[in-house]
Structure 1
């Protein structure tokens, strides 16, 4: 009899779930200034949610997180389920569902303030027990949930032979016992500069991107640095290089980094080469930023 086709890999995203309150503005407000928005929308978001939705387009993706025991929490869970995400491991809390306050200008650039709320109820015990049930091949985490929950995900991966991927956003100091398990560490230019203790540079060029990736590679198993309109630079054991950005006119850049990270998770879990995975993630992010939020 012919060999049966192996089941697709399962992945897990350990992270935040928010309700995004989005305003469209001509320009971002200055300190102390009041301006009028030209549009307003409420959508489900959060780095964990966004990354799980991106991964679920390609593989079986589980979301581990916490939402409020409120109408917004119900909306978030149902929306994730509708988009193909496995939500059995999303818990409920008497703290309200998280919020993100987002300004998007007409050039597609955004500024974001997050109120974690129920996201801070994610516990290490919840993460460990959920992953024991799911047995994911790869796990992706960020920093909009308590760090001890992220650490639990990393240690579970180390103990069970799973790939641990880390998107340290919002960026913060990380102990070596966690960051050195990241495979890859996924950062943008500002986050890379912070972790390296260097000032961010608006004049960063490709050579500097490669240098930053090489330095971060010393503290993580592999590294991907997203560099906006220039694409993404990466460094791993057997592969390193740069994938050029796709020329486009952005409509809304909100969630582009999450689309990149979630697609990268799915691609690496599926056995793609590092170069192929970064290329697929780059294309997915480009597709997202030219898509109006109402059509995503």
Structure 2
């Protein structure tokens, strides 16, 4: 059996507090909810945990406060077998407040807290990017930290996978160090210079983004699967239907399983299939961390789909 791929995940940790509501509240509305839950969250930590469960040897770089939420996070990373190169800072640990509609859709408000203290020096001094197979990062932490991570990953020969969420404008010099960008439908349009709901198809938008630097763009399409776009081709990858309970962690599960698959040497298409399977499984359970699937579950779902 080959060694698991080494994944360096750089990003945020938030302590998630969620409540189920009949429908997402509009401005000025107080919604009566139920089933309050607390979970670990933050795109960086979620993706680190999902990558470890997907079969990766994972190190995580981030920042938490010296408080009970930060202590809980460190215990969780230890349980998941993650090498936590995480700073403790005076600022409180980040939090996310989540409304989950009974249909599974969600709305999230985030107070970044300690995540805003993650900087380029912290990323560099962590020393975990050198030697990794895949660098996986997102945009919930300061751009200086993300840029340093991407630059280090590119310089050391790692495949650099960037989930451009939440959206922010990214310069071409940044995108030129990115191997694979994984935007959703609105993010790919924004990165191509359009409004998020512009009447432009995803392939056209993705090709405009490709011209700015990345080697490939994988557009995640939720219930419609994904679109893999390279200079040579554009291929739609079918979704896997499931009974949706909560979509909150689907994107993180996708990116993590995709990154591990790439670290294992799978093609863009095969890695995207594994990402879609992981994202589908993450929709079937409430709460992000509890829903992030193990490698065996991803294997089983793909096996079942192929034999159907």
- What's the TM-score, normalizing by structure 2? 0.89
1:218 aligns with 2:214: no
C-alpha contact (below 8 Å) 2:4/2:56 kept by paired residues: yes
Structure 2 partner of 1:119: 115
Structure 2 partner of 1:86: 83
CA deviations 1:12-44 (Å, max 9, x no partner) are: 110000100101100011111111112211100
Structure 1 partner of 2:68: 71
Structure 1 residues 240 and 279, CA, compared in 2 at 3 Å: closer, same or farther?
same
Which secondary structure does the structure 2 equivalent of 1:90 belong to? strand
Whole-Å separation in 2 of the counterparts to 1:126 and 1:222? 28
Alignment of 1:105-254 (within 5 A): 105-131=101-127, 135-201=131-197, 208-219=201-212, 220-237=214-231, 240-254=234-248
1:131 Cα offset (Å): 3.3
Q: CA RMSD in A?
A: 1.8
Structure 2 partner of 1:101: 97
Between Structure 1 and Structure 2, how many residues are aligned?
Answer: 288
C-alpha contact (below 8 Å) 2:95/2:113 kept by paired residues: yes
CA deviations 1:161-209 (Å, max 9, x no partner) are: 11111111110111111112222111111111211222333987xxx22
Structure 2 partner of 1:32: 28
**Deviating 4+ runs (over 4 angstroms):** none
Structure 1 residues 13 and 132, CA, compared in 2 at 3 Å: closer, same or farther?
closer
1:100 Cα offset (Å): 0.6
Whole-Å separation in 1 of the counterparts to 2:207 and 2:112? 33
Structure 1 residues 101 and 234, CA, compared in 2 at 3 Å: closer, same or farther?
same
Which residues of structure 2 form unaligned runs of 5+? 292-308
Whole-Å separation in 1 of the counterparts to 2:250 and 2:198? 20
1:295 Cα offset (Å): 4.5
C-alpha contact (below 8 Å) 1:213/1:233 kept by paired residues: no
CA deviations 1:240-295 (Å, max 9, x no partner) are: 31111112221000011011011111111111111100000000000110123384
Whole-Å separation in 1 of the counterparts to 2:286 and 2:18? 12
